[in-house]
Structure formats: C-alpha cells, structure tokens
A and B are shown apart, each in its own frame.
Chain A
C-alpha cells in the first residue's frame, strides 16, 4: 500500500529527535518558535493557556502592531505532527483498504515550516509552508507528499497611543480571508491544532464542518484595518487570484488547483472588544462576496463563475488568570452559493441554481498551568438539499454501483452534526500530546444510512491521537 519514502522517514525522525535535541541545547530553551525568540517571552504571553493558535489580548496586539514588538531574531520555526486515527466502522465500505488506508496506523501526518517575525519597526509577518504527506493518492493506492504555501500574513502597522487614546492602523498582504484577524473565531483561525491531512484521517474533527469563505485560501489579498482604544476593530480587504505580484501566495500549487477569482472580491470585518478584570469579550461580524471561475484553467467567460456570499457572526469570551485559561467561542455563518449560468457545470433542469447553508459551531476550552487541558465542541451544518449532490441511485432497474459509498450522500443534504471532545497534555511548551474524539449524530443529511449503502453517521465517529512538536 503506502510507501514510507525516505523523505517521510527523515521528517518522522526529525519530529522524534527534535524534542530531545531541544532538551539538551543550552540557553534560553523556553523561547521556542520565531516569535518567542523575538520577544523572548513564553508561549503563554501571546497564546491563551499556551495553546496555539488561541491569542490572548496581548497576542492580538502583538499581531495587530505588525509582529514588530521585540528584536529581530532567527525567523524560522517548524512544526510536525505524528498521529493515529481510528474510525468506528470500516466494514461498511466496498474497499476499506482505500477508504481507510491509514486507519489505526501511526503516521507522520503533516509538517510546517514557518517564517515569522519583525522586519522593520513597522513591518513584520509570517508565512507558513505546509507539507502534506498524503496530498495525492495514486491509482495503486500509494500516497505522494506535497508542499505548498499555507497561511501568509505580511503587514505594515503603526500605533498612535497616548494617555487617553490608542489607535492601531495597518495593512496586511495575505492569502486567506480572515487570516489577518486577531480573534480565533475568524474562519481562518477557528481550528483545532494540529489538523492532519484529510487524506489520512477523513472523519476527525479537522474534516468536520468549519466556518469558511467560499473562495477558500491561496488567494492574493490586501486588507486595511484599524483598532481603536482596544474596543472597535474594522477591516476591509479585497482578494483576487494569486498571480503576478501575488503568485507567492499560491506557491507550490498546480495551475489547476489555484482558485481563479473574477476581479477584486470584498472581505469585511467589524468587531467590538471589551476587557474587564481577567475577562475579555468580543462580538463581531464578517463577510465576503466572491466570484470564482468554475474551471481554473479557463477564465474566458465571466458567466462561468460561482458566486459565494458568506456572512458570519461570531463571539469569543476569555477568562485568563494564571494558572487558568478559559475560552468560549461561538460562530454562526450563513453561506449562499450561486452556480454559474453557463458552461460545463450549468445546472440540469430541476437542479438548484443556488444552495444555502448555515453553520453553527461552538467551543469551550480550558487549560490549567498551560500544561493540561481539554475542550468540548459542537457543530451543526444545515443547508438546502441539492439533487446534484445525490450519489445514490435507488432505481432497482439500474445496476448497483458502489460509487459514493462511505463519502456519498443519499439525500443531497449537507446536514452534518456532532461533537468533539479533546484532552491534551503539554509536558514542555513545544510538545503537545492529545486525544480527540469526534462523534456524529448526522452526516451528509442523515443519521442512518446516509450513503444509501447502510452506513450511519455514528459509523464515522473517530478517535485521533497526536503528538505535536514545534521549534
């Protein structure tokens, strides 16, 4: 089946050896990735309870002031994940070997190289390149790894602060709508870390519904923002295809995988934040309208664009008082996807001209001493049923095909609902060991027999255990 290439072995070895190396390297071993070296501070200064990527109020200000606090340091960090996923049921599949190739196997799941830090007094940023060992599956079932540009956020910022007023302004050049946002209910940042390749762990939390913008990532964008008196935040941006000056934003992606946007597409964000005592609260809204070409290789006809209208309302509450860190997050998104009126994927008569979906996701997390912690998440995706998404043919006249088993959809509805529980332990601040369990009460529209072949939502319940290292 899969071949653990030499490259894989090298990274697995690195992931295992790095913590040992770090333990014996003398000096300021507490300051691990690039930003820590720059400020000399511990993870807990910027990350709530030391948990990446959740930011503290200080972490948000560090980001909004352009990652420029401190002094220039070696701007490179790396992180790697070794994990094991187990799904509840692998029998209801015509080809478990292909559908669950990595089930119950310890794998090197993903690795990232991060470059981040201060460039000048007003400019800083971070750029992430992620390697997915299971990016491509060949016909013989073997996987091939691939690296490409992940999140990129380069910014210029200035701060006008006096005894009575505080205004931070900035411009971010980035490749993913909301990656510039300082709150962790933003689509780009509401996530469990680590997230392994979907190719290796298909039903774990990282593959369940999350807030997002229809246009996706690897775009070329510029946004301008202002944060006034640590209370009101506003950001307005525009995104286009990551080509020309922006081609670095999609580096490593094949032409056919680059999202082609028509023109400049607006993204906006408004938020109100309040801090009192050890508490802080944010309520906000964001949205984006994007027109995406159906065929990335053919952008000749404007009528072949999908139009995505995404609106989100989000709120985040934190209680941060050493040794406790409590975070509560809530996001509701409404997404409308209008299909092209011309071209290859013109809807067949009777099919939907547009689909709508609504997602509610909530998460409550706690960490103690930045060392032990856990969280509970709840997600519920609902949406219009679309006959075009039905993979199961109930007609007894036609030959039964197993296409669509496991990942299929009997009803055409995207409805998926479930919970995720996580517990973790960070023996040292650059190493996290965790276990996540995701349970589905509904998947692809149904609780039972969602694929038409007898597979139930609960058959997808998954356990995911991981070791995450960052240096």
Chain B
C-alpha cells in the first residue's frame, strides 16, 4: 500500500512539474502569478471571465472604478470590510494577495467592458428609482445618487460604478450600509441611505441595473 501511494505521488508530481504553467496557476499565495491569470483562473468562477457575473449573488466588476476595486480588496484582506458576503467569500481569497496583484486586478476589471443588463421591473417602479437616483428624497434629506456616482452611474474614483450592477446586490449593500457598520470605508453611505425605505431601496437598485440609459 505504501509503495502504491508513493508511486501515485511520484507520478503525479512528475506530471505536474512537466505541465505546470504559472500563466494558468490558481495559487493565491504566489506573488509571481499575474493579476490577469488570477482574474481568469479564480475570480472568473463567480464574477465571470470579463467581470460580468451571471449570478446576482456576485457583483459585476467590469468597468468598475480602479480605486474602488483596490480599496475593496484591501478591505477584505485587512478585514476592514466585514459584511457577511464579504468575509464568507472574499476574506480568504484575498488574504495573501500582494499589493501589485491587487493593483493589477483593479486595473484588469476597470478595463473590461460592462454588459448591459436586461430591462426588468415595472415602468412606475423604474421611474420611482430614477427619481431617487437623480434627485434624492428631499423630505428625508437623502441626496441624489448622481452627485457622487455620476449621471449614468458610471462612478468616480472611490465612488463605485453602479450602472448595470445586479439589483439584488445593490439592495443587499444598501441594507448593509443602512443597518450595520460592516463597511466602514463606505460610512458616508450610512448617512446617505439612512432614510430610504425598503421600497426606495428596491426601486433605486432596480433602476441602476438598467443604466446606462441609451
């Protein structure tokens, strides 16, 4: 039995050494692996090869602000960002990334082309979402989203792109901002989102998913 285990191990190691290519590595603790390789071999599993995630459980990253992606990865790595989805999925994956890899991943996603999302939702709900997005809710002192995130939700530096983001993801993150302190780097959003009702959150999230408007 021992001989057979040894033989299997030897055969395996020989095969692996012969075929191993750092350009196709899935190692998360090797600073030699390029950000593009990591994005394609690992991150693509949930976020899609070009940063367009099929499942709304995971945010679209295509076209996302470089500064923002780098800040999030650093937040996961340093455990500053500790919302459940963040620590369940991202703490471990980011724990050994080098600064260069984080920078590279941020640049990779910023350079990807975002896909347009299918138009979903009733027109009156989208209109309500548009109103909040563009003008805020004056009575509740909720500022307009466009002020920081851009007219079409395209984002600006540390303010993330919202255009085409999965509505479900936006809803959950607004809830995180509103109800918790799990994302301290985005604490400004706590003030912004504090007065939004559940319906407001759903409307504005549904609207940003449809952006950019043609």
Contacts and interface: CB of A to CB of B under 8 A. Distances in A.
Q: Do A and B bind each other?
A: yes
Interface string A42-76: 10110000000000011001100100111110000
Contacts of A321: 55-57, 168
B28 interface: yes
B49 A320 contact: no
Contacts of B46: 58
A244 B4 contact: yes
A41 B58 CA distance: 14
B40 A156 contact: no
B45 to A, nearest CB: 5
Interface in B31-70: 40-42, 44-46, 49-50, 54-57
A246 B8 CA distance: 9
| In the complex, the 4 A-B pairs of residues with the closest C-beta atoms, listed nearest first | A40-B92, A42-B88, A71-B29, A120-B16
Contact of A62 (B12, B22, B45): B45
B26 A121 contact: yes
A248 B1 CA distance: 5
Contacts of A39: 28, 92-93
B198 interface: no
Nearest to A122: B16
Contact of A173 (B8, B16, B22, B42): B8
A139 interface: no
Contacts of B13: 119-120, 123
A47 B12 CA distance: 27
Contacts of B24: 121, 158-160
A247 B40 CA distance: 38
Given A68-B26, A121-B27, A244-B4, A163 B12 contact: no
A278 interface: yes
A61 B20 CA distance: 19
B10 to A, nearest CB: 11
A289 interface: no
B95 interface: yes
A162 B85 contact: no
B49 A166 contact: yes
A161 B43 CA distance: 12
Interface residues of B, number: 44
Range for the number of chain A residues in contact with chain B: 35 or more
A42 B88 CA distance: 5
A81 B13 CA distance: 35
23 contacts: A41-B88, A42-B89, A44-B88, A57-B55, A69-B42, A69-B45, A70-B28, A70-B92, A71-B29, A72-B29, A119-B13, A122-B19, A154-B12, A158-B24, A159-B41, A160-B24, A163-B50, A166-B49, A244-B4, A248-B4, A275-B55, A321-B168, A322-B85
Contact of B95 (A40, A57, A65): A40
B1 A247 contact: yes
B57 A246 contact: no
Contact of A121 (B4, B16, B172): B16
B159 interface: no
A68 B93 CA distance: 12
Nearest to B168: A321
Interface string A248-282: 10010000000000000000000000011110000
